[in-house]
């Protein structure tokens, strides 16, 4: 029977697992306390949450949340939790793993789908949601810009043609009447 404190921690962890868009399970064995403080600061600055969890509690919380995380709960485990951009936790975790050799990515969950450690680099390379939306906006805007440019060209050509007609009419009006009859016959 879990103690009330552990039951409270379990409920909190379960809630975090349910509301997260991405979870990255990491190993941190060998990092100093100062390095862990730096990591937490980096994660907070990125809008992520990092928790060192007991494997048993994490296993129970994941089961209650309906998540499959069993293979990642071996040895000391930390969980990087992302609530916004689902790709961001993987990007930040990969960046940290490059900086600290003792920091390892065990795997994770991306919107409920299991991600193995070997797939983490591929996910980290994906563009963020904002980047994808910006690309989509650019692609949707391009045909409209082309249409507007083409319409401007048509209007400009029409203005040039009307100006030429005006010049010809003025030139004809300035000609003597006999020259106008000769120009009209041509």
Q: Per residue in 110-119, pLDDT tens?
A: 887 888 888 8
Q: Check residue 182 and give its pLDDT.
A: 59
Q: Where are the alpha helices (DSSP H) in the chain?
A: 4-19, 33-45, 55-65, 88-99, 117-124, 129-174, 177-185
Homologous superfamily of 4-126 in CATH?
A: Ribosomal protein L10, N-terminal RNA-binding domain (3.30.70.1730)
Q: What is the pTM of this model?
A: 0.66
CA angle 152, 156, 161 (to 5 degrees): 150
Beta carbons within 8 Å of 71's beta carbon, 6+ residues apart:
106, 107
What are the φ and ψ backbone dihedral angles of 52, each rounded to 5 degrees? -85, 125
Q: Check residue 145 and give its pLDDT.
A: 87
Is it the case that residue 96 has pLDDT exceeding 80? Answer: yes
With beta carbons less than 8 A apart as the criterion, state whether 88 and 82 touch.
yes
Ordered by start, the domain boundaries in the chain are: 4-126, 132-185
Is it the case that residue 183 has pLDDT exceeding 60? Answer: no
Q: Check residue 120 and give its pLDDT.
A: 80
């Amino acid at each position: 029977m879990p103690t009330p404190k552990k039951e409270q921690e379990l409920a909190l962890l379960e809630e975090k697992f349910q509301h997260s868009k991405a979870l990255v399970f990491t190993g941190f064995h060998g990092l100093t306390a100062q390095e862990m403080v730096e990591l937490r600061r980096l994660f907070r600055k990125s809008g992520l949450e990092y928790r060192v969890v007991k494997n048993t509690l994490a296993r129970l919380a994941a089961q209650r949340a309906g998540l499959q995380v069993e293979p990642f709960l071996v040895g000391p485990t930390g969980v990087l939790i992302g609530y916004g951009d689902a790709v961001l936790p993987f990007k930040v975790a990969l960046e940290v793993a490059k900086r600290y050799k003792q920091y390892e990515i065990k795997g994770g969950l991306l919107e409920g789908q299991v991600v193995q450690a070997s797939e983490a680099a591929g996910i980290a390379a994906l563009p963020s949601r904002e980047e994808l939306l910006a690309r989509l906006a650019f692609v949707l805007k391009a045909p409209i810009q082309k249409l507007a440019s083409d319409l401007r060209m048509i209007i400009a050509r029409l203005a040039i043609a009307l100006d030429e007609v005006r010049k010809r009419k003025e030139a004809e009006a300035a000609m003597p009447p006999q020259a106008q009859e000769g120009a009209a016959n041509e």
